[in-house]
Structure 1
Amino acid sequence: MENKEDILKNIGKRIKKFRTEKGLSQKDLAEMLSLGQSIIALYETGEREIKITTLLELTKIFDVSPNDILGYDDSVSKTEKNRINFSEIEITIFEEIKKNKDFMVFVKENTQEKIKKLLKLWKNVERIIPG
């Protein structure tokens, strides 16, 4: 387990990495956060702890998750292991289905049996759809 000093240094390295990838100077980033440039320098060297509100602002500026900045992006969570990847068309279909409240209630009741029926229906739809 890393000690606090090492954790702060590693967070600082990632902040610097994301900042430079965005083409921002310390001064640019400081202005975006309404902080002094010296504060950014202290973050990047691990000499100052970052406030949670500042961390969240950085995620918006860098377009990354808090885990990316904190260094937890290298490990795969249980959720990620079990994640199902859907195609754009599948997501679009699901979004349309969610709009139909009656259908959602229908599926919630006796879910397993209804899913089996829907899968059979989908196989028939696949035969009709070209491609």
Structure 2
Amino acid sequence: MMDSEFNKEDFLLLVGKRIDYIREQKGFSYERISQGCNIDASDLSKIAKGRVNIMLSSVMEISKGLEIHPKELFDFNLEDLPCK
């Protein structure tokens, strides 16, 4: 069961933080990721900041750019959400 404080904005922010964590671990820039997928570097930055709600096809594209399995983007605990 999910906490009643759980919301979409918090989830988007947490996914974005996960993207940035993986990106930094690999030493990739947004430009480098965009070369491996069909998403512009400026859009990747917005996604990483939790400003854009992405579709599943975007999850696949970001995963290709990061050279990871898509499930790795969701490898976090919901308890880490910055609920208010």
Do these two structures clear the TM 0.5 threshold for a shared fold by scoring above it? yes
Alpha-carbon separation, structure 1, partners of 2:21 and 2:65: 13
Deviations 1:27-52 (A, max 9, x none): 11122213221101111000001221
Q: Flag structure 2 segments of 5+ consecutive residues without an equivalent.
A: 79-84
1:50 matched to which residue of 2?
Answer: 54
TM-score (norm 1): 0.48
Alpha-carbon separation, structure 2, partners of 1:61 and 1:35: 9
1:19 matched to which residue of 2?
Answer: 23
How far 1:64 sits from its partner (Å)? 4.0
> Between Structure 1 and Structure 2, how many residues are aligned?
74
TM-score (norm 2): 0.70
Alpha-carbon separation, structure 2, partners of 1:37 and 1:58: 11
How far 1:54 sits from its partner (Å)? 2.0
Task: Tell me if structure 2 keeps the 8 A contact 1:12–1:44.
Answer: yes
Moved over 2 A (4+): 57-68
Q: Flag structure 1 segments of 5+ consecutive residues without an equivalent.
A: 76-131
User: CA 1:27–1:58 in 2, change beyond 3 Å: closer, same or farther?
Assistant: same
Identity %: 26
Q: CA RMSD in A?
A: 2.2
Task: Tell me if structure 1 keeps the 8 A contact 2:30–2:45.
Answer: yes
Task: Tell me if structure 1 keeps the 8 A contact 2:9–2:50.
Answer: yes
Deviations 1:4-33 (A, max 9, x none): 000000000000111111211011112221
- Whether 1:32 and 2:36 are equivalent positions in the alignment is yes
- Whether 1:68 and 2:72 are equivalent positions in the alignment is yes
User: CA 1:25–1:63 in 2, change beyond 3 Å: closer, same or farther?
Assistant: closer
How far 1:63 sits from its partner (Å)? 4.8
The structure in which a higher percent of residues are helix is: 1
User: CA 1:28–1:63 in 2, change beyond 3 Å: closer, same or farther?
Assistant: closer
